[in-house]
Homo-oligomer: A and B are copies of this chain.
């Protein structure tokens, strides 16, 4: 049997035990995991050095190496993340609905774990611990498949977590890590119908698209974000400047940052020029529609391909539109249903934008950068869903649960 199938089956068996655990038992295990990470941090840092050396040899970029690197401070943060999950309310067992039918049947819909969750992700080793903590807290078992760049680090982290679990009520088999770095191991996970209950991909667009295209198990699509900010004619100029600037440059590498700025044609031209200049001073490369090119020289022409690209970088498309309708049309055509913003003083335009834009999070007069489980107050997130089924937007603990109906009768039969 392949490593993938073997480990997934072990996780499935462990799911039966997980389903019986109390919140206290799960929390104790998470605290033990956090402690063990600190106790064994030097061994993790040693393993991490192997990944970093291999990365340097292979010519990995400095920014990727930085995301991969662990030190005592980062491990302390990761362990602290587990402790924060302990403090979150356990959704499992919550009664969502309870009702009695005229025939006397008592029906309860209760939250239950999803079962076995497959996580496929890329470089950052903190995801290994985060995902393990969130999945185990919600009574699930988890099969992790991280990026090969972090293989030694992830193997060591999982060994440390397994060591911690040996002293807890959570079975060691509830946490599985796929060490096979071949792409075929991902493909195999995607078709484990009947074993994996869901696969959650986290990473770049190509990883996510590969999962969406090839999975026969249910998928929660996350993360791809081509987010827009629309500065309406009535926008408060200072506010518009702040929001657009924040949405682009506060952290361009993340999914809720802005990729395209839409500006109403009647918005103050000087304010537009001032804003675009601010971007240029921050070394943001601007690509503009022909009308934008007339306002600021040195802007290259934005193509449809640009409008379709999630840069995650210091690059911004700028398009001047004739109306709210044209802005809505552009967002409908090029958006990824992640986060969209209108800056306006018009209540009517704000209401239309909030109503008509089809996205996980729609903002009036605030930066799209707030689409985040922590910023929403969920305390943690497993990712940001960009699909409409099951969960949409930042996914906290309830997104890792399903439900079932428990029906108690006294011999009722159907007539």
Q: A residues within 8 Å of B by Cβ?
A: 16, 19-20, 99, 101, 105, 107, 109, 112, 114-115, 193, 197-198, 212-213, 216, 218-221, 236, 238-239, 242-243, 245-247, 250-251, 332, 350, 354-356, 358-367, 369-371, 375-377, 387-390, 392-393, 402-415
Cα A218 to Cα B193 with chains together (Å): 15
Question: What distance in Å separates the Cβ of A213 from its nearest Cβ neighbour in chain B?
Answer: 5
Q: With A219-B218, A389-B389 in contact, do A407 and B370 touch (Cβ < 8 Å)?
A: yes
Question: What distance in Å separates the Cβ of A348 from its nearest Cβ neighbour in chain B?
Answer: 14
Cα A406 to Cα B371 with chains together (Å): 11
Closest to A214 in B: B216
Q: Which residues of B contact A16 (CB under 8 A)?
A: 332, 356
Cα A128 to Cα B367 with chains together (Å): 44
Q: Which residues of B contact A415 (CB under 8 A)?
A: 250
Cα A319 to Cα B318 with chains together (Å): 69
Q: Does A389 lie within 8 Å of B220, measured CB to CB?
A: yes
Cα A145 to Cα B361 with chains together (Å): 32
Q: Number of copies of this chain in the oligomer?
A: 2
Question: What distance in Å separates the Cβ of A180 from its nearest Cβ neighbour in chain B?
Answer: 24
Which of A101, A366, A403 has most B Cβ within 10 Å? A366
Question: What distance in Å separates the Cβ of A230 from its nearest Cβ neighbour in chain B?
Answer: 14
Cα A136 to Cα B360 with chains together (Å): 22
Q: Does A392 lie within 8 Å of B403, measured CB to CB?
A: yes
Given contacts A101-B375, A367-B412, 4 further A-B contacts (CB under 8 A): A20-B355, A364-B408, A366-B408, A370-B412
Question: What distance in Å separates the Cβ of A12 from its nearest Cβ neighbour in chain B?
Answer: 9
Q: Which residues of B contact A251 (CB under 8 A)?
A: 414
Q: Which residues of B contact A412 (CB under 8 A)?
A: 365-367, 370
Closest to A393 in B: B405
Q: Which residues of B contact A247 (CB under 8 A)?
A: 413
